[in-house]
Each structure stands twice: as C-alpha cells, then as structure tokens.
Structure 1
Amino acid sequence: MSAERQESKLIRNLSFWDLMAISVGQIIGAGIMSSTGVAIGMTGTGVVLAFLLSPVLTIISIFPIAILGATVPTTGGPYRYCSRLLGKTPGMIYLLLHITMNVGLAQYALSFASYLVSITTGLDQHIVGIVILTFFFITNLVGTKSAAVLNKIMSVALIGGLLLFIGFGLPKADIAYVIEPSHLFAHGTFAFISTLALLSSATAGAQVVAELGGETKDAGRTIPKAMVASTFGVGIFYVLIALVAAGVLPMDQVANQPLTLVARETMPGIAFYLFVIGAALGATATTLNATLSWVTKPLLVACDDGMLPKSLGNVNKHGVPWKLLTLFYLVGFIPLAMRLDIAFITKFTTANSLLSKLFVCFALFSLASKSGDLLKRSSIKLSPAGAKGMAVLGMVVLCVLSSSLLLNLSVMVVGFLVALVVVVLIYVRTYAKNVEIENDLLVDYTSEK
C-alpha cells in the first residue's frame, strides 16, 4: 500500500526559512488589514490589549498541533492525526471543516482587491479577486518551493510596508488615550472576549506548516520552531500596529474602517502608496499564496486512504496534487463569482477554523492516553500528563472563542454546518464504510530529493 501512495511523490525540500515565509505569509493577511477597524468598533482601544493576548491564546490553541508535529511529523498533519488517533469519522468531519474554512481563499482575494481599488479607479473588486486567485493558483501548480520563494519576496515588501505604518504613526499615537480604562473596554467584557475570537483569525495561521511534514527537512524540529517564532514575531508587529490604529484618531472615526484611514493621516503621499502596495496588498497576497501551498495536503492523504477517490489525489511532475489544488481554486472562485460579502465569509471561515483546532486537541489527548511513549520522540519535551494538560487547555480556549463567535452567526448558517456534518456521517457509513485506515503515523513516505 505504501508504495502506491501519491504522497510518496512529494519532495522534501522545505527549510526553516521556507516555513517561516509560509507561516508569516499565512498569519499576516486579511486579518490585520481588515479586522483591526472592526475590532476597534467592538471593543475600543482594547484592540491593543486584545492583540497582546491573542498570540498567547493562539499558541495555546495551536500548541497541540506543534506537539504532534514535533512527535510524528507527517503530510496532511491534522487530518492524519484525527483519522489515525480518533477514527475515520472524526477525521472526515475535520476534513469537512478544513474545506469549509478555506472558503477564506475568497476572503483573501477580495481583501487584496479592496486595497487595490483604494489606489486605483474603475476596477471591479470581485473581478480583481478572481484574477489574483488565478495567478497564485497557477504559481502553486509549478511547485510548493516556487510558492515559498515568492512568499519570501512578498514577505520582505510586506514587513517593509508595516514598518512604514508603525514608523510614521507611532510618534503621533496618543498612548494615554489608548490606555484610558473607559476606552480599553468601551463596550464591556463580553465584547472584548468576542474581539479575541475575531482576532484569532488574524494571529493564527502558523499551524498550517504541520500540513507540510512530508516536504520539510528535519520536520520534527523545524515545524514547531517555525510555528512559535512566526506567531510571536508577527504578534509584536500587531501590537504596534494596533497602537497606531487606535491612538492617532478618535475611536468613532476609525471604528470599522480599514488601516488606510490612519495611514493617510500619518504618512506623506509616497509613503502611503508604498504602505498600500507593500503591506496591504502584500499581506493579503502572501496569505493567499501560502494557503494554496498547503491546503491540498489533508485531502491528498484522504485520497491515499481511500476515503476519497484515489484519482483525485494524482500528483504532477512538480510534486503538486493538481486536481485537489483545482478543487480549492473553485472553493475560492465560487464565492467571488457569486459576489458574496467579505464580512460573511470572514465570520464563516473563522468559526470553522476554531472548530477544526478543537479536533486536534482531542487527537493529542488520545495520543497521550494511548501512546504516550511516542512523546519521547518529540523535540518538545513533554510528559503524557503535560500533553493532556495542554490538550485540555486548548479545548477550553477554543470552546470559549468559538462559542462567542458562533453566537454572531445566523441560525441558518449554523444549521448549514450541521447539515454538512450529517452528510459526512452518511458518506462515511455508505461510501467509506468498508475502508480501513492504516495507522501509519510513524511511516515516512517521502524521501530526500
């Protein structure tokens, strides 16, 4: 069976800095550029405190993935962990959440378009979104390595743009105004908690490199290092950006507005355009590109498992599962073609993302309970009891964040998600009822190339 798996055709050529580029590109994206103003509207200048806490909560929620990635690095990380440690039904429900949360491809493309339109005229946002989605789809068709190199270049421009925003804005920020208690929690404690949930999508993203275990050199050490370093590194930028966003203009002026409003106030013309091109466009472009580089991996493993049609996972000469990549291109294309609202897409994808991480926490708890000796292989030294504690802590954080966000979704949307879960349960009990999934967490299908 192992020799026939398509994942054996993947190429192990990603380094720590390749993963850092993918992680940073995944974290810094539509979240910081579009959610900061919304967060100010929800909680006032408390957005600064929320961004300070968010990386810590993010690490807690993704640390189970880091532990699993350090213990048994593998292609398609979370899906493989869930399907091997919890069973094929939880594995397929995770896969469903993985697909639905990546409707966010449309969010990233539309966010890119909205910033481009802010410095140009006569462009249709949804058409621009389709064009940029198509460009990065083609880029990723020729290999994950080329996508990672492109992300390195864009990440430099992105960080440069953010530094311009911070450099011009921070001297003009009124810190006393920001830390005034009545401004920090302008709409109460629950609104602050809901803001933390919203910003979880802005500071999350590094966990996606766990999908690339089969393509990463020394994956057991490289993956967790990249996850932690990128999350806290980007978190520092976020706090400084939030200080500028909330401290230059009154709250009522910047609430629910993009960062370009403050940028115009603090920057001279040339710097403003460099910010929009480097940071605003770069942030959304890097996230879109990074997502397409890893998004297919769980489905590739499911195809090899027989849970999905095997032919769907065919890999081209560049080591890319092109049919699956095309599937996710359509997942992003359809909302753009339907001209769906970006606010709806953002809430929908964030809720699914939080729920998917919950399954990974259960998987870690199961590993620590049934195969605790495997933790000795991990570059993160943790006892079975410690691993269980981290899993439970992650569950608590994710339940609080996801429930606060689900309350902001309509009954129809929640009902739609429930209906999809029912469809998956029927699918597992019919099409996949005779499929036996090999417990291959310790098998390395990918050789150095």
Structure 2
Amino acid sequence: MGLWSKFLEREDASTYISKDADMPRILHTKDFLALGVGTIVSTAIFTLPGVVAANYAGPGVVFSFLLAAVVAGFVALAYAEMASTLPVAGSAYSWINVLFGEGFGWIAGWALLAEYIIAVAFVGSGLSANFRGLISQIGINLPPALSGALDTHSLFGWASSVSGPKGGFVDIVAFIAIILVAWLLSHGVHEASRVEVTLVVIKVLAVLLFIVVGLTAIHPENYSPFVPAYNPNGTTLGGFQGIWAGVSGIFLAYIGFDSIASNSAEAVNPQKTMPRGILGSLLIAVVLFVGVSLVLVGMFKYTKYVDNAEPVGWALRQAGHPIVAATVSTIAVVGMLTALIGMMMAGSRLLYSFGRDGMLPKWLGQVTENKGLPNRGLLVLTVVAVLVGSFFPFSFLSELISAGTLIAFIFVSLAMYSLHKREGKDLPEAGFKMPGYPVTPAIGAILSAWVFWGLSAEAKIYALIWFIIGIVVYFLYGAKHSVLRSKSGK
C-alpha cells in the first residue's frame, strides 16, 4: 500500500460510534452552553477590549469583535452540522478522519492538541496573575520563586521577553488550579458540569454588573472619533488596518466554541443539543464582548488603556466604584476555572481519541469502568499542562493557540463538501444544516485563512515547527500502530 494511500485511508463513522458507546450521554443543552460560554467568556473579556482599543482600533474595537465573530460564526455553523451528524469524541480529528482520511485527521487533531495544551497553561497563568494581583491589595505577596514560570533568562540566556519573572521557579497558583480542575473532572462529567453551570452564571452576572454600573459613567465624547485615523507611527494604529489587526488579536477569545464539539459523544440528543450549544454560546459571547467594549471605551478615552493589564477593574475604580471593581475582579478570577474545565475536558477527549485509534499508545483510549471517563487522557493532559504552565514560560507560544485552531477551522469548513455528499447515504442525515451551502463553507475557510495570515511571523514559525513534529510522530508511531491499518490488514 502506497504512502499516500495510507494517508487517505478513512475510518468508518459507525466504528467511532461503537467505540465511544462506553461514554455515557448525560450532557444537555444547558451544559454545552455553560461549557461554551465558560470557555469563550474568560480572561479575554476583562482584558482584550481595553488592550485592542488602545493599541489598534480605538472605539472601533467593537467592529473588531464583530468581524472576529463573523469569521467564527461561519466556522461555528460548519461545526454545528458536523457535530449533529457525527457526534463522536475528538471533534475535528475524528470528523476529518472519516471524511478525508487518517493522515489529514491527524494533522487537524495535532493542531487542536496545541490549542488545548497551551490554552490550559495560558488560562492557568492568567488566573494566577489575577489572583496574585487581588491578594496583593490586602498586603499578601507570594515569594518570587512561587510567583511565575522558570526564569529561563537567568538559566539559559534566552531573551527576557519570553522568560518568567526574575527569580521565578514555579507558578504555584497555576499548578494548584490545574490540579484542582483535573481532580474535579476525574470524578465525573455530571459533577464538573454542575460546577461549570454555577460558575458561568456567576461570571455572566459579574459582566452584566460591570455593564450596568459602567453605563452610569459614560462620557459620549470618548466615542469620537469612533474609528481613529490610520497612523502607523502612532500609539493607536487606527483605520481599517487597526480594526483588522484587532481581529487577529481578538480571535483567540472566540475559539472556545470548538471545545464543545469534543464532548459530543457525551451529548443527549446530539442532533439538537450540539448545534444549540455551539451557536448559542457563541451568540451569548458576542453580545457580552460588544457590551463590555462599548461601555469600557465610553467610560474613559481609549488612550487611557495603554499598557493597562486590568482595564475593567481600573475603569470601575477610577469611576468611583471600588467595591464593584473588587467584586468583578474576584469573580473574574474564580470564573477562569470555567475555561480550564472546558479546555481540559476537550483535551482529554482528544487524547482519548488518539489512543482509541492507535495514533498514540492505546492505553490512552481506555475509559473508567464505572463512569466511562477518559481519565488516562486527562492525566497526560494535566501533566503536560502543569509542566508548560507552571514551570516553563510560554508567552512566546500564546499565538500558537490561534494558529493551530485556525488550521483545524479550515479543515472543518472544507470538509463540509465531503459531508454533504455522504449525508443520508453512509452517514446519518444532519440534525442541523449549514445555511447558505455551498457558499458559506468556502467563506469560512477563506476568512479563517485570512485571520491566520494576519498572525505574527513568530506564530507561523512555531506552528510550522509543531506540525513538523506532528508529521514525524505520525510516520514513526501513528501510521505503524493505527487500529485502522491493522483492521484492514494493510
């Protein structure tokens, strides 16, 4: 069998459905809405509106959020149809395996693996930074050795821009947060979902509290000019260029909806719950992001948010609402656990899928006997995320989250053409149909590629290195141990 033929060999969807049968279907629409909103509306909503307004778009940051939502929306429509037709663990990895072949499926899955691992570490570090900022207000400061990632500049002479704080050894708060969420997930999806729903409700109420209180401090003159003139040498980029630069920076905030799809093997009536969860969570997130952006740039001139790592809390304090600021900041820290829950659930299901198919050691593809949980995949994800998030600096890899996800988005959008040809034949009829087919999948793929092109050169280089590693792993291990290959006797 030729190398290319092996790369294109496809798995039967019924095999995945049969293998995933041990994972109980207990998640409803409210659970997926909580997972989606909890993952999307995380650290970004309290930081990105101010950062993007100050550096790129001014009050036009609203347009950046809306444009990013349009791109994410086209892809989310494809995800909704895919998940309703193929409700199996692993999302894009499993879908592309069925529709395009094992090799392409591995590439899509490897891209998502980068997203989940780095996102867990990223959120853990963000939670830690915000928590340490909160306790410092009451005079409590952790020692430098426990306050940040390894000081690689001191050890190896690497550039300080990619290093942890001076004297740092381990980010103990990130370590504890990741371990705590892993422990919760290891005890059951139902238990984790109840915690997720509760925290998401509290977090959304905190966002609404900011919007309501912030509206009392709006100064209309701060909206003028709504889109600053283009100035490549200024503090704010401005013009359409600034708005589009903001899209590339903001897109990271929206990618969480794809994590929902990784749990579709545990969905009750996935033909309905998956589309509702994916599209509903994205819609709620867009409304909240736009609301926070409009209020934030209306409270103070957007130039006030330059180099401001905590724009929401700062604006509330400056407007004379210190108690509300402390409340919102505290809830924001606790609410970051929701993103950890969502990403760690998705990542553990993806690793389970790799093991299920023999692409990585098969013991990863086993679930617990009593609750059908992929705890071995969860263990591996936890260990890697702890190493990345607690012991090593990863700021230079943060854009790899967007890079890997955008590549998966392109795959899923293009896979819609293969899916439509097979629905009602060897694949079930979809419970949700992507509107505007066949035009909308192409738009989703083109827009995703456009956003990818707008990422930094470093992000593209890191993505290339990650994919080279993935291809090596595939040919040295996955292609030789593939369950699909052994099943076909090839």
- The one-character-per-residue Cα deviations of 1:89-120 (angstroms, maximum 9, x if unpaired) are 11111121111112111111111112212221
Q: Distance in 1 between matches of 2:25 and 2:407?
A: 30
Q: Distance in 2 between matches of 1:181 and 1:424?
A: 44
Contact between 2:97 and 2:104, CA under 8 Å: does it hold in 1? yes
**Which of 24, 37, 43 lines up with 1:30 in the alignment?**
43
- The one-character-per-residue Cα deviations of 1:115-172 (angstroms, maximum 9, x if unpaired) are 2122212032522111111111111111122111101111121012111211111221
**Aligned counterpart, 2:77:** 63
Q: 2:180 aligned with 1:135, yes or no?
A: yes
* Structure 1 unaligned regions, length at least 5: 441-449
Q: 2:431 aligned with 1:401, yes or no?
A: no
AA matched with 2:131: L
* Structure 2 unaligned regions, length at least 5: 1-13, 149-170, 231-235
Q: 2:408 aligned with 1:356, yes or no?
A: yes
Q: Distance in 1 between matches of 2:229 and 2:123?
A: 29
Contact between 1:194 and 1:404, CA under 8 Å: does it hold in 2? yes
Shift in CA distance, 3/237, structure 1 to aligned 2, threshold 3 Å: closer
**Aligned counterpart, 1:437:** 484
Q: Once superposed, what is the RMSD of the aligned Cα atoms?
A: 2.6
Q: TM-score, normalised by structure 1?
A: 0.88
Contact between 1:170 and 1:240, CA under 8 Å: does it hold in 2? no
Contact between 1:211 and 1:298, CA under 8 Å: does it hold in 2? yes
**Which of 171, 193, 215 lines up with 1:170 in the alignment?**
215
Shift in CA distance, 71/261, structure 1 to aligned 2, threshold 3 Å: same
**Aligned counterpart, 2:68:** 54
Deviation at 1:376, TM superposition (A): 7.4
Contact between 2:119 and 2:401, CA under 8 Å: does it hold in 1? yes
**Aligned counterpart, 2:354:** 302
Contact between 1:168 and 1:267, CA under 8 Å: does it hold in 2? no
Aligned residue for 1:295, secondary structure, equals helix
**Aligned counterpart, 1:159:** 204
1:115-130, aligned counterparts within 5 Å?
115-121=130-136, 122-123=141-142, 124=147, 126-130=171-175
Shift in CA distance, 248/58, structure 1 to aligned 2, threshold 3 Å: same
**Aligned counterpart, 2:471:** 425
Q: Distance in 2 between matches of 1:61 and 1:381?
A: 13
Shift in CA distance, 381/360, structure 1 to aligned 2, threshold 3 Å: closer
Contact between 1:83 and 1:89, CA under 8 Å: does it hold in 2? yes
Q: 2:33 aligned with 1:17, yes or no?
A: no
Q: Which moved more, 1:212-221 or 1:323-332?
A: 323-332
AA matched with 2:447: V
- The one-character-per-residue Cα deviations of 1:412-440 (angstroms, maximum 9, x if unpaired) are x53443233233333333433353639x9
1:210-225, aligned counterparts within 5 Å?
210-225=261-276
Deviation at 1:204, TM superposition (A): 3.0
**Which of 313, 321, 334 lines up with 1:268 in the alignment?**
321
Aligned residue for 1:387, secondary structure, equals coil
**Aligned counterpart, 1:113:** 128
Contact between 1:104 and 1:345, CA under 8 Å: does it hold in 2? no
Shift in CA distance, 104/263, structure 1 to aligned 2, threshold 3 Å: same
1:241-390, aligned counterparts within 5 Å?
241-257=292-308, 258=310, 259-266=312-319, 268-278=321-331, 280-316=332-368, 317-340=370-393, 342=395, 344-369=396-421, 377-381=429-433, 386-390=436-440
Shift in CA distance, 65/251, structure 1 to aligned 2, threshold 3 Å: same
Q: Distance in 2 between matches of 1:382 and 1:347?
A: 29
The answer to which structure, 1 or 2, has the higher relative contact order (CA under 8 A, 6+ apart) is 1
- The one-character-per-residue Cα deviations of 1:28-80 (angstroms, maximum 9, x if unpaired) are 11222232232112222211222233323211122211111122222222111
**Aligned counterpart, 2:158:** none
AA matched with 2:484: I
Shift in CA distance, 404/3, structure 1 to aligned 2, threshold 3 Å: closer
- The one-character-per-residue Cα deviations of 1:254-288 (angstroms, maximum 9, x if unpaired) are 1342222112223523222211112x214322111
Q: 2:100 aligned with 1:96, yes or no?
A: no
Shift in CA distance, 182/5, structure 1 to aligned 2, threshold 3 Å: closer
Q: Distance in 2 between matches of 1:57 and 1:256?
A: 28
Q: Which moved more, 1:388-397 or 1:48-57?
A: 48-57
Shift in CA distance, 299/318, structure 1 to aligned 2, threshold 3 Å: same
Aligned residue for 2:88, secondary structure, equals coil
AA matched with 1:392: A
**Which of 183, 192, 208 lines up with 2:259 in the alignment?**
208
Identity of aligned residues (%): 20
Aligned residue for 1:201, secondary structure, equals helix
Contact between 1:45 and 1:184, CA under 8 Å: does it hold in 2? no
Aligned residue for 1:73, secondary structure, equals coil
Aligned residue for 2:95, secondary structure, equals helix
Q: Distance in 1 between matches of 2:363 and 2:32?
A: 28
Q: Which moved more, 1:185-194 or 1:133-142?
A: 185-194
Shift in CA distance, 105/253, structure 1 to aligned 2, threshold 3 Å: same
Q: Distance in 1 between matches of 2:438 and 2:425?
A: 13
AA matched with 2:371: H
Shift in CA distance, 182/208, structure 1 to aligned 2, threshold 3 Å: closer
Shift in CA distance, 162/266, structure 1 to aligned 2, threshold 3 Å: farther
Q: TM-score, normalised by structure 2?
A: 0.81
Q: Distance in 1 between matches of 2:274 and 2:19?
A: 22
Contact between 2:88 and 2:264, CA under 8 Å: does it hold in 1? yes
Shift in CA distance, 129/431, structure 1 to aligned 2, threshold 3 Å: closer
**Which of 81, 91, 96 lines up with 1:82 in the alignment?**
96
